[in-house]
Amino acid sequence: MVSARDAEPQRLIESTAEELKKTLKRPGWADYVKTGVSRERPPEDADWWYMRAASVLRKVYVDGPVGVSRLRSFYGGLHRRGHKPAHFAKGGGKVVRVILQDLEKAGFVKQAEKRKGRIITPAGQKFLNGVAKNTK
């Protein structure tokens, strides 16, 4: 049996994004927002919100209890500062926070009781494993 841990990440995220389109709603401000201070422009892909949500869901599944700060570090990048050397900058927090809240409302993740962060629910595991099973 194929689980979400065994599936190829890129294909799993693309398939999960297609499934999440049916349950999640993209906010209106997502058309104009950058995904972090290290980015110069908003994403060009129209479905970037669902791709990021699928990626966040997979990260919560694989890495156990994770919070907004750790996910911001994962989605960060080099902030180019003109002629000065580039430094690492975290990704935007609001995007990650709202996606986690939406996934919580959908029942795929929940807040961890003993540790800070969010963990995957049995419904979220079933959802991801089902998508991984159907991914070619």
Residue 15: predicted pLDDT? 93
pLDDT of residue 90: 93
Question: What pLDDT score was predicted for residue 116?
Answer: 86
Report d(CA 8, CA 70) in Å as an integer.
22
- pLDDT in tens for each of the 136 residues of the chain? 688 888 899 999 999 999 999 999 999 998 899 888 888 888 888 899 999 999 999 999 998 899 999 999 999 999 999 999 999 999 999 999 999 999 999 999 999 888 788 999 999 999 999 999 988 6
Look at residue 113 in the predicted model and tell me its pLDDT: 85
Residues contacting 66, CB < 8 A, separation 6+: 59, 60, 117, 118
At residue 46, the pLDDT reads 86
Paired tokens of 84: 């000065």
Domains of the chain, first to last:
9-134 (1.10.10.10)
Q: What is the pTM of this model?
A: 0.91
